[in-house]
Structure 1
């Protein structure tokens, strides 16, 4: 995503004035490690200005490595700082706000006491809220998950999914739920706060990511959830993806009051939206995690195999129930009642980040202080050298996978000649791509008419080793596109949004 500065920025605004409009849209992405926002010109769909900030919001969990939670006030403080740095000349022309964020996770808050925007102030103060329990949370064991009813949905339930996390609290820490009376993702909370909503409004995309939601009927499995111990009072209202949730209650950093805000969306769908130019394209996004997907259509081989007739008359409709055993390929709701075929890996840039932290810790134990930025720079340079190619085999699934949660990482075929830093780095990058390929192989893409891959995500666009390994694994042309950015995608979704 490119931010326009100086003369180019002012030329765009001047062109807008001559055309009788300078309208723009604000796009927001609340990611796992950072927050982003951007202003997009409605007519040209160019990015006028953008801001990004790392949140450093992880909170130690009482469950150790089994838990994953983040500090909500810290995250939203970082976001508000980003929005405050956008040019006021442009924010005053915002006509819609789009919001997306990390899928699956959840947080709780108390209505009427969760936030406060003081008079004559843009800034919201965050008060009675829980931590945000992220998609990386592993408190729900396989034993616990197997005790839950089978969802009336084509999507399985997994640890880190909102409904699973809330059900875990209802059984193990019910006092947590009694302290609050609202629940949603952190980006649902942001929309609720901006619009002053009584109850959170969630898009179909986010509801599906929580589990126990039927994407065809667009309803929660309320009876199943109540039987399992979760009252329907905590379930957000659900609307179509791209539909408005409400309007900005007060002006916010120059954005006028009553500006429409769309119901928050999934970051995967928003990062894919700018890139899916046709049904022959697959999109790979590698940031904290990693995903590969393509849009389902009548012509997809997957649709033909699932249809009783030789040629289906309707677009893809998912099965009524999840598969008997977890599968790496799933179908996520996209826009306009369409679906994405998705292989979503829990292991992406977070694996490389864990490796960098380990190298840094080893250096400290040897008596040297090396900043992570130096380690990143060095390992990527070493891994890109031709002699870094080796027979080392790295299975990087240190965070497990949803279809195989007990899976551990593994390194094999080690010899004295392939344990240099460069070769280990190259093997790790190759392992990340090999893992993605095992979940959605080249043969599946070819069967479904995919002829090219477009890559996005901070980990992929900054790492040429991953790019090279991706082309090698799929034997298809891979083009990197900086527009594969969730904040930009949420702005595009807002431009295309519809009133309730």
Structure 2
């Protein structure tokens, strides 16, 4: 069985082809294409053109080598969570007048993709939505149900034109199928909002009466691995006599967790397991643009005193007896990238062009000199630097903060760009660890057990380019979380495209 995994991401789309007869954890072919789908990208609005995303996805599918395309049995999709796009059916005459990306599609987007980054839902608007919500419901700006509620109040014409809605990967899945009916898996529905994970269904009274959304717009809930439809002919460039199944899309974060856990376990079996060990909770730190800490745990093992907030959710996993405690932080590689860009800008402002240094060169130099500084002295930088430039869902007003700048022994200002960068890496990890431990207490003493300790977790698996490429983050992670940290190598491909492809294979 040859499987394609397709990840419709925020900035790029990735594709992998998995042939377990050759190797289980290394794709036999892979590609990635950056897309230019943003039409608006600001702190208040974040919208992308769904036709651009569909076009890139189809082009990647068409680029699969013919020898592999002829053997593909299933296509599994994943991608950016939370966001929403609305669409309607279009007839052949209407399709003929569309852009090239939509000419072969029976679906017509009637809205942009409102992404997870969108900020149009104000605190007051969200507070009104939460007044009649259940205690377990978390809605933030950029969540599908919150965006739909905003449209219902401010632009109802869009809703009246639509026949269905979903995440961008739900739209792509339906668009490339001959016979698709809109559907959504629990991993996507939980990120959309107003989803009852225990009953695996939408909260219909809330959606209709509080959010003001037509319930018939929402896709039906299906289990992971459900067939959406058969792939349209001509998308895979090969002569075929059998149909290719397209499976219901999954959220990208749980798929990356699934890939990491399977890579760590490296089971001797030729097929992956839902989780390498169901009885032992496991924790994964994923740090890319933002950061997520996911703890896969049996539902029966959830701490009774767990405190949820807008930055924390209990999400479904791929087996009914398991769930994930997910801490989603807005702070990750983006914070360090912003800091390095500021450093680079300083060199440009204070020198002519010949003396300027690029952001990439500055980043490499700061890591190199930062590692040397850490090795040379046991004394950490006295400066503290909370790099929360983007706020957090639990505190949108939170901003970055530099403190404790003093004088060194010689009377000089105890401050340097390298020291500031080291402090940013250290305090970024401390910020994430503190957010995690505050789920079971307002303050955490160094002698008290952390949430990871209480759950019996003995190490933290780390993945994502931001931490994989930064030895300073790796160095400070273990001290911050107070458990050993195992960083997966960059070539491990523990990403969501691989994860969703593994999910499409038969499991033990």
3-state SS in 2 of match to 1:294: strand
Alpha-carbon distance change, 124 to 386 in structure 1, aligned in 2, over 3 angstroms:
farther
Which residue of 393, 401, 405 corresponds with 2:392?
401
Structure 1: gaps of 5 or more residues? 1-22, 307-318
Which residue of 474, 483, 508 corresponds with 1:467?
474
Q: Tell me, in whole angstroms, the C-alpha distance in 2 between the residues paired with 1:280 and 1:127.
A: 43
The answer for the alignment partner of 1:200 in structure 2 is 182
Alpha-carbon distance change, 253 to 343 in structure 1, aligned in 2, over 3 angstroms:
same
The answer for the alignment partner of 1:340 in structure 2 is 324
Alignment: residue pair count: 454
Deviation at 1:196?
3.8
Deviation at 1:282?
1.2
Q: Tell me, in whole angstroms, the C-alpha distance in 2 between the residues paired with 1:479 and 1:131.
A: 40
The answer for the alignment partner of 1:232 in structure 2 is 215
CA contact (8 A) 1:95 1:260 kept: yes
Deviation at 1:483?
4.0
Q: Tell me, in whole angstroms, the C-alpha distance in 1 between the residues paired with 2:184 and 2:415.
A: 48
Deviation at 1:127?
6.0
CA shift digits 1:435-468 (9 cap, x unpaired): 2101223711111110111111122222222211
Alpha-carbon distance change, 96 to 112 in structure 1, aligned in 2, over 3 angstroms:
same
1:286 aligns with 2:310: no
Deviation at 1:493?
0.9
Alpha-carbon distance change, 298 to 164 in structure 1, aligned in 2, over 3 angstroms:
closer
TM-score normalized with structure 1 length: 0.82
Which residue of 326, 336, 339 corresponds with 1:352?
336
Deviation at 1:211?
0.7
3-state SS in 2 of match to 1:261: strand
The answer for the alignment partner of 2:498 in structure 1 is 488
The answer for the alignment partner of 2:52 in structure 1 is 74
Q: Tell me, in whole angstroms, the C-alpha distance in 2 between the residues paired with 1:267 and 1:488.
A: 10
Structure 2: gaps of 5 or more residues? 262-275, 408-412, 438-448
The answer to which of 173-182 and 362-371 deviates more is: 362-371
1:100 aligns with 2:78: yes
The answer for the alignment partner of 2:453 in structure 1 is 446
Q: Where do residues 28-107 of structure 1 align in structure 2 (5 Å cutoff)?
A: 28-43=6-21, 44-45=23-24, 46-61=26-41, 64-107=42-85
Deviation at 1:243?
2.2
Alpha-carbon distance change, 57 to 433 in structure 1, aligned in 2, over 3 angstroms:
farther
Q: Tell me, in whole angstroms, the C-alpha distance in 1 between the residues paired with 2:97 and 2:368.
A: 47
Deviation at 1:111?
2.1
Deviation at 1:245?
2.0
CA contact (8 A) 1:111 1:198 kept: no
TM-score normalized with structure 2 length: 0.81
Deviation at 1:433?
1.4
Q: CA RMSD in A?
A: 3.0
Alpha-carbon distance change, 374 to 130 in structure 1, aligned in 2, over 3 angstroms:
farther
The answer for the alignment partner of 2:141 in structure 1 is 159
The answer for the alignment partner of 2:247 in structure 1 is 262
Q: Tell me, in whole angstroms, the C-alpha distance in 1 between the residues paired with 2:478 and 2:95.
A: 47
The answer for the alignment partner of 1:428 in structure 2 is 424
Deviation at 1:271?
0.3
Alpha-carbon distance change, 91 to 420 in structure 1, aligned in 2, over 3 angstroms:
farther
Q: Where do residues 258-337 of structure 1 align in structure 2 (5 Å cutoff)?
A: 258-276=243-261, 277-278=276-277, 279-297=280-298, 300=301, 302-303=302-303, 305=304, 326=309, 328-337=311-320
The answer to which of 478-487 and 411-420 deviates more is: 411-420
Deviation at 1:103?
1.1
Deviation at 1:180?
3.4
The answer for the alignment partner of 2:267 in structure 1 is none
CA contact (8 A) 2:179 2:229 kept: yes
CA shift digits 1:414-437 (9 cap, x unpaired): 346554222222222223212210
1:135 aligns with 2:116: yes
Q: Tell me, in whole angstroms, the C-alpha distance in 1 between the residues paired with 2:87 and 2:121.
A: 21
Q: Tell me, in whole angstroms, the C-alpha distance in 1 between the residues paired with 2:199 and 2:459.
A: 34
Q: Tell me, in whole angstroms, the C-alpha distance in 1 between the residues paired with 2:415 and 2:481.
A: 26
Deviation at 1:40?
0.9
